[in-house]
Amino acid sequence: MQQLAVTRLAEQVQALVAEGRAPLLLDVREPWEIATASLSLPGAQRLDIPMQQIPGRLAEIDPQRPVLALCHHGMRSLQVALFLERQGYPCTYNITGGIDAWSRQVDPTVPLY
């Protein structure tokens, strides 16, 4: 499992796309959090699955794609990325600092909560 810094996230997504490995942006926050503030990255498919539902919904996550796990501050997504790695997902990343860091460091139009 690797860490991705929000300041280089869009660039890293584009590098994966250029390699022919379009990533999955896996948002593990609760629906109310996603409604409050969301993130989309050109070239990445988005999938919203709350953290506690991940084990029961593994079939929705392609193990051949890079998975970029996102949450509010990066802790839930870290747990999910580690879990996915143990389940045989070889290319998992945690987005360090989560959407909060994205809002503070990259795009201040994304609401803080």
Give the catalytic positions in this structure.
71
Of 63, 74, 55, 80, the C-alpha closest to 23 is 63
Per DSSP, the three-state class of 79 is helix
Residue 42 CB partners (closer than 8 Å, separation 6+)? 10, 13, 14
Going across the sheet that includes 67-70, the strands are 2-5, 92-96, 67-70, 24-27, 45-48
